[in-house]
């Protein structure tokens, strides 16, 4: 089984991911980001017989931080796909994603 990688974020900031072969999903709002995340995770998320399509889905932190806690909690219970916040392109702002990634590493 070969897994995919995806990134959800604003159009211009996710282009670099496409250059390295990651599936990109451009969004403009938190609601759209949540909907796209749920689509990528799949309708059969709670079906143990269903193999996940994605190993990891990266989400820009400005969208990730506004996801409902129950969504993050439900997704965190499964080993795949890993939902990982990545830094948003906001200069000078302390990055929630960088702190989280540092903890994981």
- How confident is the model over 74-101, as pLDDT tens digits? 888 888 899 998 887 765 555 665 565 5
Beta bridge partners of 9: 26
Per-residue pLDDT for the chain (105 aa), expressed as one digit of tens each? Answer: 788 999 999 988 898 888 899 999 999 999 999 999 999 998 556 666 677 889 999 999 889 988 999 988 888 888 889 999 888 776 555 566 556 556 655
Helix/strand/coil (H, E, C) string of the chain? Answer: CCCEEEEEECHHHHHHHHHCCCEEEECCCHHHHHHHHHHHHCCCCCCCCCCCCEEEEEEEHHHHCCCCHHHHHHHHCCCCCEEEEECCCCCCCCCHHHHHHHHHC
């Amino acid at each position: 089984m070969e897994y995919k990688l995806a990134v959800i974020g604003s159009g211009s900031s996710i282009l670099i991911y496409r250059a390295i072969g990651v599936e990109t999903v451009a969004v403009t709002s938190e609601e759209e980001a949540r909907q796209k995340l749920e689509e990528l995770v799949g309708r059969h998320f709670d079906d143990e017989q269903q193999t996940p399509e994605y190993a990891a889905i990266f989400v820009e932190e400005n969208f990730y931080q506004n996801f409902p806690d129950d969504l993050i909690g439900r997704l965190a219970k499964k080993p795949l796909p890993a939902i990982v916040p990545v830094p948003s392109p906001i200069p000078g702002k302390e990055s929630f994603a960088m702190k989280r990634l540092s903890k994981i590493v």
